[in-house]
Amino acid sequence: MDLDPEGLFRDDSDSESEFYQEKDFTKEFVVYLVDASPKMFGAAGSDEDEKTDTHFHVAINCISQSLKAQIIGSSYDEVAVCFFNTKEKKNLQDLNGVYVFNVTDRECLDRPTARLIKEFFYVEDTFMSNIGSRYGIVSGSQENSLYNALWVAQALLRKGSSKSVSKRILLFTNEDDPFGSITGATKTDMIRMTLQRAKDAQDLGISIELLPLSRPDEGFNVSIFYAELLGLEGDEISHFLPSAGEKLEDMTDQLRKRMFKKRKVKTIRFSIANGICIEVNTYALIRSTSPGSIMWLDSITNLPLKTERSFVCADTGALVEEPRIYFHPYKNEIIKFSTDELSKIKKVSNGQLHLLGFKPLDCLKDYHNLRPSTFIFPTDEEVVGSTRIFIALHRSMLRLQRFALAFYGSLYRPQLVALVAQDEITGSSGQVEPPGMHMIYLPYSDDIRHVEELHMSADAIAPRATDDQIKKASALLRRIDLKDFSVCQFTNPALQRHYGILQALALGEDEMPDIKDETLPDEEGLSRPGIVRALQEFKISVYGENYDQEEANAAAAKGCGSEASRKRKAMAETAARESASYDWADLAENGKLKDLTVVELKYYLTAHNLPVTGKKEALISRILTHLGK
């Protein structure tokens, strides 16, 4: 494990406070319930669409992706995958038409493993032969596969207290009317039973979520059956699916968004003025994901090692307790601080967010940034009326184009923050940007460096581009335009590779996966004649005609020796000359080396291309080693 000996003093990053928060968080148990009826295997796109992807494929793909994300991000959460409307059955209750998918070395509901991800990824290939698809609810039969599926899912989620674990069933189906094929009393009976089953599950603290798949030409009608199962009422039904996915990508996108449960970082008070203090929740929507911490293993047994930390007094070598006192040298003295004093120094505020005032948005400069932002959203849980005030301010700030400046007195790093109101943005796949405010951490003057001034040349006016050059640049900008750029369209190639390698090793595969680096520039696009021409014109306009030639000449000139390299050469020559005037072997033999000066010793070292760093003793021993003594 990565240990941090300076733990106490590295604490001014928010990441640590988030870490502590995470511990309080509940774990999550999810059962993916996938409809495997023949309808799911019909083409998902509309007729003119060339694509032959099925809804089943879409669902498998989504789950695959979320499993991969989960094993990286929150691998302590547990999952189970369960198909219904299948030919084969495999479940503890031995119910028909339900198949719980699992791999070896794993319980049905368990943490995701490399094998699960891998085998699940290929489940489609063998699905028909091993599991099979069949309509579960047909007239004339008493079987109710949906009821069975909910029962199995509920039983899978039996473990763990509902207080500390959040339990969810995610249901993937494209059938909005599962009991459409039957009629009469059997139908009402089955519907009643199924709804009761769902309600029982919900009473046990299991939330059921529906991820409807639908074709563009025929929408998914929630109100036929599922609204009641999910407990949706009135407006909620129309809000349920802002727009049925128009494209398959949209659908994937929407499903991906709903895969993870929302987790707040913490609840904080936001003091506005004169004792008006509302409550908001903070969320970490953007945080860099790093390849998790490492563990030390014994290379012989591959078992984890226990790390033990001990404190040793540097002066006496005695073992000591973990010290409560720290010191800093100052004016040749040792100034001691107790941990209490240190925490008092850092505590300048009470953990609240204090409004200081408002500024126009253009006061927030591009370089006013230090860390990823934090999202805040109001809550009426403990202070009733918070949401109303928040919405009012949110609207005013949006309309007046202002951001709020506030002081966030977190214990780890009390800081000035900009609160930027963000209006809700919805796209075809649902919410793109949630409504609320983003807290942007501002630097202090101590954190800003004036690098520009570093190379300031007196009375040499820095040249500026002429209008013509700017025009050429504008033409170039228009040419190389990424029209639909959205902020997070790239996966991190380093992370992908990291986990690709881990997965291959975990499964004992020899071949290392080939991960595509999406972040490389589009060479093909850049070599289109229009772009090449625009680049060339811009280049000539700012660099002149013969730039490449000039550069080549300059590089060639450098090649035959820059000033520094010439100097180095001269030094080596002098050293060789000087070095020759000593009888090194003799000096070494008689222990006379120590009588020489460092400069003299360095002659030898330079002449023999040895490093010249270190103290005199180090130099002498290096010479002795080189002489073979």
By beta-carbon proximity to another protein, the closer residue of 114 and 222 is: 114
Q: What does each C-alpha distance from 193 to 69, 184, 299 come to in angstroms?
A: 36, 14, 56
Nearest to 120 by CA among 72, 64, 73: 64
Q: How far is 487 from 564, CA to CA, in rounded Å?
A: 44
| One-letter amino acid of 314 | A
By beta-carbon proximity to another protein, the closer residue of 117 and 137 is: 117
Q: How far is 495 from 69, CA to CA, in rounded Å?
A: 11
Shortest spacing between CB 246 and another protein, in angstroms: 19
Shortest spacing between CB 586 and another protein, in angstroms: 34
Q: How far is 505 from 512, CA to CA, in rounded Å?
A: 8
By beta-carbon proximity to another protein, the closer residue of 47 and 453 is: 453
By beta-carbon proximity to another protein, the closer residue of 122 and 327 is: 327
Shortest spacing between CB 259 and another protein, in angstroms: 9
Shortest spacing between CB 616 and another protein, in angstroms: 17
User: SS3 for 415?
Assistant: strand
By beta-carbon proximity to another protein, the closer residue of 354 and 602 is: 354
DSSP notation for 134-178: --S--TT----HHHHHHHHHHHHTTSS-TTTEEEEEEEEES-S-T
Containing 101, the helix (H) or strand (E) segment is strand 98-101
Q: What does each C-alpha distance from 63 to 112, 170, 176, 306 come to in angstroms?
A: 12, 10, 21, 36
Shortest spacing between CB 133 and another protein, in angstroms: 29
For the chain, the straight-line distance linking the first and the last C-alpha, in angstroms and rounded, comes to 43
Q: What does each C-alpha distance from 111 to 29, 176, 489 come to in angstroms?
A: 9, 31, 28
Shortest spacing between CB 462 and another protein, in angstroms: 4
By beta-carbon proximity to another protein, the closer residue of 129 and 301 is: 301
79 contact partners, CB below 8 Å, separation of at least 6 = 29, 30, 31, 32, 67, 70, 109, 110, 111, 112
For 342, phi then psi, to 5°, come to: -65, -40
By beta-carbon proximity to another protein, the closer residue of 455 and 590 is: 455
**So which residues are the catalytic ones?**
23
Nearest to 229 by CA among 195, 196, 203: 195
